[in-house]
């Protein structure tokens, strides 16, 4: 069995227990969405999940089902929701670990920063009267493609200024 299959069986077991406790109906759609989510490494938006579903799911579900299932998985603490700049981003958190996210304030893309130093520091943090379940740190800034676009725009604006002066 692969690591991802292991992750899914653990996640499916937890979802089953959660739904049993809440009297929520077990539907094949919910488990298929969870299975696909377990194959994604990293952060994804609902649009990206839809693309993953189209490519990898055994059957297709509506966007409403996707949205509702994400909410359910979030309640069941199987998925963490990052509420960032534009669209919400989600991530599988069956085995939570500290992380650093880079959020582009221009285009809204989110990616993980690989830094074991900060991750170690995050995992050591303790708060009084507060239990940390998911240590996440966000850095807001500009991604590479937005920096490039910005500098092209600036260069173009400067050029236009020079032309106007002439």
Please tell me whether residue 86 binds Zn ion under the rule CB under 5 A: no
For the CB of residue 106, give the shortest distance to Zn ion in the complex, in Å: 4
For the CB of residue 90, give the shortest distance to Zn ion in the complex, in Å: 19
> What are the DSSP calls for 49-118, one per residue?
HHHHHHHH-SS---HHHHHHHHHHHHHTTSEEEE--SSS-EEEE-SS---EEEEEETTT--EEEE--HHH
Contact pattern for Zn ion over residues 5 through 24, marking x by CB under 5 A:
--------------------
For the CB of residue 154, give the shortest distance to Zn ion in the complex, in Å: 16
Please tell me whether residue 143 binds Zn ion under the rule CB under 5 A: yes
State which of residues 87, 107, 148, 157 lies at the interface with Zn ion (CB under 5 A): 107
Residues linked to residue 81 through DSSP beta bridges, in sequence order? 90
Please tell me whether residue 147 binds Zn ion under the rule CB under 5 A: no
Compute the distance between CA of residue 78 and CA of residue 96 in angstroms, rounded to an integer: 9
| Chain residues in the site for Zn ion (CB under 5 A) | 104, 106-107, 143, 146
């Amino acid at each position: 069995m692969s690591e991802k299959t292991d992750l899914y069986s653990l996640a499916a077991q937890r979802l089953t227990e959660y739904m049993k406790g809440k009297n929520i109906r077990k539907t094949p759609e919910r488990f298929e969405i969870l299975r696909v989510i377990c194959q994604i490494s990293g952060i994804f938006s609902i649009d990206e999940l839809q693309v993953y579903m189209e490519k990898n799911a055994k059957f297709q579900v509506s966007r409403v089902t996707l949205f509702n299932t994400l909410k359910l998985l979030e309640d069941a603490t199987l998925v963490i929701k990052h509420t960032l700049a534009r669209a919400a981003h989600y991530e599988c958190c069956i085995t939570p670990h500290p992380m650093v996210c880079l959020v582009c304030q221009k285009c809204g893309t989110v990616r993980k920063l690989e830094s074991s130093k900060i991750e170690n520091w995050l995992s050591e943090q303790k708060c009084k009267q507060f239990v940390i379940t998911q240590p996440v740190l966000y850095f807001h800034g500009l991604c590479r493609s937005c920096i490039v676009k910005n500098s092209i725009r600036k260069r173009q604006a400067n050029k236009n200024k020079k032309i106007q002066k002439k």
